């Protein structure tokens, strides 16, 4: 599966740079197979929210491959989508696939979360490099708790859009800092709610799977709105891409 992943990113990046449709078709197809494989993983651990998410990503990738193969999809939006997907993947997947990078990011996030809580006089204990304990209840910090997925997504679409470099840098720094800080707040909330039993026996589930997920969705929508204000070009190219997906071959060139 990792080989499929790296090949897909290589094909997508090369196709965006060189304008070779066949590489784009291969890139999106391989990317789709990768995400489909991830859905099996999330199904096994009964994380149905992510099952739907990655299955939707797989379907979108296969559809992108289809419209490029069947209709050509000659618009700038299609090329941008391949470029953005490649950059997102290049930023995210080293942390997901290279154990040393993954461990470093998880450990850093765990320490930052603990330090913030201690400053707020919450008696958290960092039991291990990736484990926080409050009131005898422990929470493990995993890669999903670092916000690297959201950071990579925003970085990819921001860096790939055609806009002045100064506005792209402002959008990149603002979105990255806001997302990471909000994620630290999310981790802190989950630990405190679970450790102090705010919602009874289902405290972890309610804090992590319901409240935190809903809050994260609202926060990402707010960050997206800020990015669109800074980079209206991004909203335009996304609109073109949606138009191309709905009516293949009918987008602007």
pLDDT tens sequence for the chain (253 residues): 567 888 899 999 898 888 778 888 999 999 999 888 888 878 887 777 788 888 998 998 998 898 888 776 656 788 888 889 999 999 998 999 899 999 999 999 999 999 999 999 999 999 999 999 999 999 999 998 999 999 999 999 999 998 999 999 999 999 999 999 999 999 999 999 999 999 988 999 999 989 998 998 999 999 999 999 999 999 888 888 888 777 665 544 3
Q: For residue 80, is it within any domain?
A: no
Query: From CA 25, how far away is CA 65, in angstroms rounded?
Result: 5
Going through 92-154 in order, the beta strands assigned E by DSSP cover 125-128, 131-134, 137-140
DSSP 131: E
Pick the last residue of a domain from 9, 37, 72.
72
User: ∠ CA(11), CA(236), CA(33), 5° rounding?
Assistant: 30
**What residues make up the domain containing 232?**
87-253
- Token pair listed for 45: 């651990």
Q: How many domains does the chain contain in total?
A: 2
Whole-number Å distance between alpha carbons of 94 and 109: 17
Domain-located, residue 79 = no
């Amino acid at each position: 599966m990792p080989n499929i992943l790296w090949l897909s990113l290589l094909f997508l990046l090369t196709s965006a740079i060189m304008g070779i449709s066949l590489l784009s078709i291969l890139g999106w197809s391989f990317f789709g197979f990768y995400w489909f494989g991830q859905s099996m993983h999330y199904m096994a651990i009964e994380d149905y929210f992510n099952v739907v998410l990655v299955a939707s990503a797989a379907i979108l990738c296969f559809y992108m491959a289809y419209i490029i193969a069947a209709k050509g999809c000659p618009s700038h939006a299609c090329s941008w989508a391949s470029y953005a997907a490649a950059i997102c993947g290049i930023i995210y997947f080293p942390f997901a696939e290279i154990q040393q990078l993954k461990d470093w990011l998880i450990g850093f996030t765990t320490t930052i979360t603990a330090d913030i809580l201690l400053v707020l006089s919450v008696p958290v204990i960092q039991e291990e490099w990736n484990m926080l304990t409050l009131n005898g209840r422990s929470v493990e910090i995993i890669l999903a708790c670092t916000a690297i997925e959201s950071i990579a997504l925003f970085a990819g679409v921001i860096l790939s859009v055609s806009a002045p470099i100064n506005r792209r840098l402002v959008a990149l720094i603002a979105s990255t800092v806001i997302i990471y800080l909000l994620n630290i707040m999310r981790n802190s909330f989950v630990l405190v709610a679970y450790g102090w039993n705010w919602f009874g026996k289902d405290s972890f589930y309610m804090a992590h799977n319901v409240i935190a997920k809903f809050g994260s969705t609202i926060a990402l929508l707010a960050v997206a709105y800020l990015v669109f204000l800074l980079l209206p070009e991004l909203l335009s190219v996304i609109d073109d891409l949606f138009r191309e997906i709905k009516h293949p071959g009918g987008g602007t060139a």
